[in-house]
Amino acid sequence: MSGLLLHTAAELHALPRAGRRAVVMTMGALHEGHATLIRTARAQAGPGGQVVVTVFVNPLQFGANEDLDRYPRTLDADLALAGAAGADAVFAPAVDEVYPGGDPQVRITAGPMGERLEGATRPGHFDGMLTVVAKLLHLTRPDLALFGQKDAQQLALIRRMVTDLNFPVEVAGVPTVREADGLALSSRNRYLSAAERRTALALSRALFAGRDRLAAQAALRARAAAAPASDERASALARLGEIRASADAHAVSAAGAGLPDAVRGAALHVLAEAGRHEPPLALDYLALVDPQDFTEAGPGYTGPAVLAVAAKVGATRLIDNIPLEFGAHS
């Protein structure tokens, strides 16, 4: 696999281009989620195209008390996984290769979206992330860049940067890969003890509870819509032995505007239970947001949404999210 490995910008620029180039940016410690990104990049680039994977632990996006020093570095294993998944090259530069003059004085600023949720918890994180993504886009010069949807706010900010600053690249999101028990794949999962992992499963369970609450409401509305739309509704349903559905129909008509809060409430119930586990889950935030700007979805919200959560279990901080769709009659 050593033929895959590039360490310098000069080596990267000397790499002959072949068809459409796709890039997958990582901080290493690759797992099946990254492999899915690389395989998707391979499919998108096509047999005549080229896939470049970057491996760089970016110091600019770690705060003072975060896990930069202990972040896992597994380059040999990363090379093997990347090659097996279809990468043509792995660019793994040293810090002084990416930042030859030390910390850059000029950086990308994430703006208002970068101050919300993850940005509020980790000040400066998104500025550092966007700065390195911009540099790596310039260095790799791809036609397509793929990012995981697990980091939904990161993906939204990269898309905004590419649009606002006219980067000539297509940005694609790839759905989150989960383990059989529902835990979203993350390089930080390896920090969890067996007991901590059991607690951490509350993140995905909370998201699924919110999703199920939304689905139940949609099913309830569909059931109510199928009933006669007149004063005869209750009696018609009662004659069919559907007294409960009749009550549901009346309840639904009064409940629609509060659905975002109901979705949040279903998720928060699971998270509150996990806060009483041993070890406990310490919640940073649970938010239901518009994916365009990560502002909270208010009463009566319609359209796509992201239900996002961040929490600590022991010393390990984890994030997760799922996409949702609020219809006009949800």
* Exposed / middle / buried, residue 178 (Cβ in 10 Å: 0-12, 13-18, 19+): middle
Contact (Cβ atoms closer than 8 angstroms) between residue 149 and residue 142: no
| Distances, alpha carbon 36 to alpha carbons 110, 140, 146, 170, in Å | 27, 20, 10, 18
E strands along 103-258, which residues? Answer: 144-148, 170-174
Residue with tokens 């010069």: 141
Q: CA torsion angle for 254, 258, 263, 267 (degrees, to 10)?
A: -110
The SS3 of residue 99 is coil
Please give the Cα distance from 192 to 317 (Å, whole number): 10
Choosing from 13, 34, 250, 277, which is the catalytic residue?
Answer: 34
Cα–Cα distances in Å, from 245 out to 228, 236, 256?
12, 11, 16
Q: Distance between CA atoms of 147 and 176, rounded to whole angstroms?
A: 10
Q: What are the C-alpha distances in Å from 305 to residues 36, 183, 291, 317? A: 24, 21, 6, 23
The helix (H) or strand (E) run that includes residue 308 is strand 303-313
Active site residue 31: no
Active site residues: 34
